[in-house]
Amino acid sequence: MASLTPIDLPAGVTGEGAFDAPVDEEGHRSALFDYVLRLGDDALILGQRLSEWCGHAPSVEVDLSLANMALDLVGQATHFLHYAGQIEGQGRDGDRLAFHRDVLDFRNCLLVEQPNGDFAQTMARQFLYSTWQKMLFDHLSASSDELIASVAAKAVKEVAYHQELSVEWVIRLGDGTEESRGRMERGLAWMWRFIPELFEVDETVTALTGRKVAVDPNVFREDYERRIGEVLAEATLDPPPDQRPILGGRRGHHSEHLGHLLCTMQFLPRTYPDARW
């Protein structure tokens, strides 16, 4: 091997450590946009999914429970997507981002776009997501980004309720009749392969963790797995066998289900762009 050739340092770079913290505002802005979009899209898509139950739930009381959760999530999405639009600075507001973006530009995790199935499958999805979201928002309440911190701090109470409610149902259906137990087992088996994506760390998360804007979800991964395990034990359910994880939602690689969801959600504002109500 030839010895290394000394390189010419650019003007202004002098001392040791000069490369440690490159100031790249454009890179930071684009990572922040991506991250806030993920937070907003998770809430928006899960909120839309839950709202599909409206008028179809097993009882009028459950109908209201699901609609309440949907509204909480759409409210969170509104804050995050408006903020994402401001960060981007291209004149798109939250509505524009929600209703005039194509499927490949959505950055939600795959778990939230999975179909409702029966009530057990919906509760399995809610349990796995809300448990994660609660822990994430607990940490994001201390984000160095003021808006993320304030939305997370407000939303964490809503999410805590979603988690508690879904835990109650997982336990009752799991430890219920043969029929309800089978349904909960199938619901969990469907959703299980989407858990690893929740803990994926890519360059967006890494870039923002350094500035304390984002949090590496692996700091609460053990807590998450412990909590899921406790609830399954109380529900007398075995964890589903590990399956090949499916990733890609954060990069826009979605399952076929998201496109259909967006068709319904975006139809009206796209067909009648000036509609007001």
- Its sign, for the CA torsion 174, 176, 178, 180, is negative
- In this structure, are residues 180 and 121 in contact, taking their beta carbons and an 8 Å threshold? no
Contact 80, 34 (CB under 8 A): no
Cβ of residue 50: shortest distance to another protein, in angstroms? 13
Query: Does 168 help bind another protein (rule: CB under 8 A)?
Result: yes
Which range in 59-67, 75-83, 128-136, 266-274 contacts another protein by CB under 8 A? Answer: 59-67
Q: Does residue 178 touch another protein according to CB under 8 A?
A: no
Q: Which of 174, 75, 85, 49 is nearest to 124 (CA)?
A: 174
- Nearest CA-CA partner of 32 in 158, 146, 123, 150: 146
**65 lies in the site for another protein, by CB under 8 A:** yes
Pick from 28, 52, 62, 154: which binds another protein (CB under 8 A)?
62
CA distance 133 to 72: 13
d(C-alpha 77, C-alpha 65), whole Å: 19
Q: Examine residue 230 and tell whether it contacts another protein (CB under 8 A).
A: no
What is the rounded CA–CA span in Å between residue 108 and residue 123? Answer: 19
Looking at the Cβ atoms of 63 and 225, the one nearer to another protein is 63
Q: Is 141 in the site for another protein (CB under 8 A)?
A: no
Residue 59, interface with another protein (CB under 8 A)?
A: yes
Q: Does residue 179 sit in helix, strand or coil? A: helix
181 near another protein, rule: CB under 8 A: no
Residue from 39, 109, 124, 165 in contact with another protein (CB under 8 A): 165
Structure tokens at 83: 């903020």
User: How many amino acids of this chain bind another protein (CB under 8 A)?
Assistant: 11
Closest-CA residue to 265 (of 106, 100, 125, 105)? 100
Out of 58, 210, 229, 248, the residue judged to bind another protein by CB under 8 A = 58
Contact segment (CB under 8 A) with another protein among 58-66, 75-83, 147-155, 232-240 equals 58-66
61 binds another protein (CB under 8 A): yes
CB nearer to another protein: give 60 or 275.
60
Taking the C-alpha atoms of residue 192 and residue 204, their distance in angstroms, rounded to an integer, is 24
Among the candidate windows 149-157, 164-172, 239-247, 263-271, which touches another protein by CB under 8 A?
164-172
116 contacts another protein (rule: CB under 8 A):
no
- The residues of the shown chain that bind another protein, judged by CB under 8 A, are 58-62, 64-65, 68, 165, 168, 172
